[in-house]
Amino acid sequence: MKKIIVANWKCNPNSFLKARNLFHDIKKIKTNNLIVVCPSFVHFNIFKFQINNKIKAGAQDVFYKEGAFTGKISASMLKDYKIKYVIIGHSEIRALGETDEQINKKIKSALDHELIPILCVGEKKDEDVKKILESQLKNIISKKIIIAYEPVWAIGTGKFCSSEKANKVLEFIKKRFKNKIIYGGSVNGDVVKNYSNFDGVLVGSASLNSKEFIKIVKNV
Ligand code: PEP
C-alpha cells in the first residue's frame, strides 16, 4: 500500500534558493509512495511547473475566514495555488494558543475547498494520551482527514516513541476511525521502520536534509 511521507519544513530554509534546491533533490527521489512537501507560504513558488504524481504540494496552516485578518492565508488562496494538503493543529501552533474550536473551523474550511487536512494530535509529556486523543479526535469529521499522531514530547527533541507505544495508540485510533493514520516525532531514516504499521510519517527536522529524507522515503 502507498505510504504518505509529509515533509514539514516549518520556518526553514531561510532563502528561496535553498528551498528550491531542497525541492529539486526531493523531486529526484524514486518511490511508489506519496510525498507531500509543506514549505513556508513564501516558498510556494517552488511548486510551479514541478509537481508530479509522487509529490504533492502542502501548506503548514490555513485560516478559516477571508477579509480583515492581517497575516492570514485562506483555504481559497491555497486552493488557487494548487495546494492539495494542509497541516492543521500542529502542536507548535496549538502552543501559541490555537484551540480545538479554531482547529474545527480550519478543518471545515479546508474540506469545503477540497483540501485534504492533516490533523495533528498527540499528548504532552505526562499527559494521558487516551484522554487527550478523545478530545482532539472530535475534529475527525470526515474520512478524508489524515490523522497525524505526534506525541508532543517527541517533536523536534530527538526523543523516540517506542514502536510498542506507537502501535497501541494506532490501534486505539483505528478502533474509532477508518482514516489514514501517520506518525510524527523525530523520525529519521533509521527509526522510521518502528512506525511501519502506520500509513506513513510526518517529518520535521529530517526533511530539511535531503540525504536523510531520501533514507526515510526508502525505509518507510
Ligand atoms: C513535526 O514538525 O511535526 C515533527 C514531527 O518534527 P520533527 O520530525 O522534527 O520531530
- Output the CA 185–ligand 1 centroid distance in Å: 5
CA gap 118, 136 in Å, rounded: 13
* pLDDT per residue as tens digits for the range 58-80: 999 999 999 999 999 999 999 99
Measured from the Cα of 157, ligand 1's closest atom is: 10
pLDDT computed for residue 100 by the predictor: 95
Structure confidence at residue 51 as a pLDDT band (50, 70, 90): low
Query: What's the mean pLDDT in 180-205?
Result: 98
- Output the CA 85–ligand 1 centroid distance in Å: 17
User: The pTM is what?
Assistant: 0.97
Measured from the Cα of 207, ligand 1's closest atom is: 8
The CATH number of the structural domain formed by 4-219 is 3.20.20.70
pLDDT computed for residue 175 by the predictor: 97
Ligand 1, residues at Cβ distance < 6 Å: 8, 90, 150, 155-156, 184-187, 202-206
Measured from the Cα of 10, ligand 1's closest atom is: 2
* pLDDT per residue as tens digits for the range 115-142: 999 999 999 999 999 999 999 999 999 9
pLDDT at 30 exceeding the cut of 60: yes
Query: What's the mean pLDDT in 3-16?
Result: 98
- What stretches of the chain adopt beta strand conformation (E)? 4-8, 34-38, 55-59, 85-88, 116-121, 146-149, 181-184, 200-203
- Output the CA 157–ligand 1 centroid distance in Å: 9
* pLDDT per residue as tens digits for the range 138-164: 999 999 999 999 999 999 999 999 999
Grid cell 526533511 is found at 207
Cell of 99: 484551540
pLDDT computed for residue 49 by the predictor: 57
Among 150, 161, 191, 201, residue to substitute to test ligand 1 (most atoms within 8 Å of Cβ):
150
| Most distant pair of Cα atoms in the chain: their distance | 47
Cβ neighbours of 182 (radius 10 Å): 27
pLDDT computed for residue 48 by the predictor: 82
- Output the CA 130–ligand 1 centroid distance in Å: 21
pLDDT computed for residue 50 by the predictor: 59
| Domain spans of the chain, in order of start | 4-219
Q: What length does the chain have?
A: 220
